[in-house]
Structure 1
């Protein structure tokens, strides 16, 4: 699984909904010990095969991406 770090919990919720509408399975989770660079500490977990498409879709929907991590 890959994690897409987002800027706020609201963006995480909106992003998960947008990804699901486009057929990408996404789950919303909280980072256990977020650092200052992790934003709000929420991530969207998606299959790593879908991460590039997911990031593009999120950006097109105005969701601020803080970073991505493969877990």
Structure 2
């Protein structure tokens, strides 16, 4: 699984809905020990094969991506 860091819980919820509408399974999680650059510390987990498409869709929906991590 890969994680897409977003700045707030609201953006994480909006992002998860947008990704599910486009057929990408996404789950919302909280980062256990977020750093200051992680915003509120929420991530969307998606399959790594979908990461590029998912980040593009988030940008298209006005959701700022703070970074991605492969787990």
TM range (shorter): over 0.9
Question: Cα RMSD (Å) of the superposition?
Answer: 0.4
Deviation at 1:11, TM superposition (A): 0.3
2:30 and 2:53 map into 1 onto residues whose CA distance is 22
Question: TM-score if structure 1 supplies the norm length?
Answer: 0.98
Match of 1:14 in 2: 14
> What is the deviation of 1:3?
0.2
Q: Which runs of 5+ in 2 are unaligned?
A: none
1:70 aligns with 2:47: no
Could you list the runs of 4 or more consecutive aligned residues of structure 1 that deviate by over 4 angstroms after TM superposition?
A: none
TM-score, scaled relative to structure 2: 0.98
Unaligned stretches of 5+ in structure 1?
Answer: none
1:44 is the counterpart of 2:20: no
